[in-house]
């Protein structure tokens, strides 16, 4: 992925690996591109975003998650990293309008995929995820369109996002599912049943908001105590907990700061003890 003079540091590699779809092997600690500098404001310089993305890859990140709905994120990724290093997996999503409204109409899903291909300068998207299931469109139609895109070679592997256990079962009946992306973190574990289903089936589980959009940080409970014991930040402990939670978990913390990027990736170096885990779990109940 890098030349000998640019050998990546240890953090991302220390997280271990997971093979998406049984084929795309990535380091388990990735990067979420929703919060790139200037992603929402076109007039802002994208230089900071390019620097951040290049540093993430230099540090060993080989899974970057973005979406059609994330403003200029896909364009910025292409500007910073194309032609892409060998082994870099860019996962994107479609089927969500600005404002968080699902739109699973076949024509919309196809248009979103085509737009992402152009923005990312790709012929095939390694992992394309249905951003939300649209309750107003039959799931067979939504996943049928995605299957067509896959069969056309525009998508390699398929993921779904924010699904219930029953929705995951139904989706798996209609198409091979490689990943699930649900909100999940130390303080929000309602998606545990979906995580367990993913683990049983070898499906990658991508927790979005892995540190609760920052809400976990600043507590005075077990998280603070464990962080102090390791000389780490609370955000780092929250990420280290996710990495210990299951071997199929692929956290994608996002940031607009180089310092926070490095801090997040250093979470892979933290080894939580059984006592640490017990204290964190008790506090989260």
Annotated catalytic residues are: 70
**Cα 159 to Cα 94: distance, rounded to the nearest angstrom:** 11
List the structure tokens of 273: 């003890």
| CA angle 175–144–106, rounded 5-degree value | 140
Query: What do you get for the CA distance between the two ends of the chain, in Å?
Result: 42
Distance of CA 66 to the CA centre of its chain: 8
List the structure tokens of 186: 């130390």
Beta strands 96-97 and 101-102 are antiparallel
The closest alpha carbon to 161, from 94, 114, 217, belongs to 94
**Cα 112 to Cα 127: distance, rounded to the nearest angstrom:** 14
**Cα 38 to Cα 40: distance, rounded to the nearest angstrom:** 5
């Amino acid at each position: 992925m890098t030349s000998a003079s640019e050998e990546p540091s240890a953090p991302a590699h220390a997280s271990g690996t997971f093979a998406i779809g049984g084929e795309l092997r990535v380091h388990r600690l990735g990067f979420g591109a929703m919060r790139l500098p200037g992603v929402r404001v076109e007039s802002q310089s994208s230089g900071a975003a390019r620097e951040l993305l290049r540093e993430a890859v230099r540090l060993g990140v080989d899974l970057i998650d973005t979406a059609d709905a994330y403003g200029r994120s896909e364009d910025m990724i292409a500007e910073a990293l194309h032609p892409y290093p060998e082994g870099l997996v860019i996962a994107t999503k479609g089927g969500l309008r600005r404002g968080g409204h699902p739109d699973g109409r076949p024509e919309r899903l196809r248009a979103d995929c085509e737009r992402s291909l152009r923005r990312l300068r790709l012929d095939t998207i390694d992992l394309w995820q249905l951003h939300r299931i649209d309750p107003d469109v039959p799931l067979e139609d939504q996943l049928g369109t995605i299957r067509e895109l896959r069969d056309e070679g525009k998508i390699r592997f398929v993921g779904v996002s924010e699904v219930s256990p029953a929705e995951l079962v139904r989706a798996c009946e209609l198409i091979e599912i490689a990943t699930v992306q649900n909100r999940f973190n130390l303080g929000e574990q309602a998606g545990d049943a979906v995580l367990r289903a993913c683990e049983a089936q070898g499906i990658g589980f991508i927790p979005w908001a892995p540190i609760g959009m920052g809400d976990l940080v600043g507590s005075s409970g077990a998280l603070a105590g464990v962080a102090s014991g390791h000389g780490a930040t609370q955000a780092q402990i929250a990420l280290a907990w996710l990495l210990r939670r299951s071997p199929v978990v692929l956290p994608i913390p996002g940031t607009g700061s180089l310092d926070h990027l490095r801090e997040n990736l250093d979470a892979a170096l933290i080894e939580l003890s059984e006592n640490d885990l017990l204290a964190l779990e008790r506090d989260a109940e």
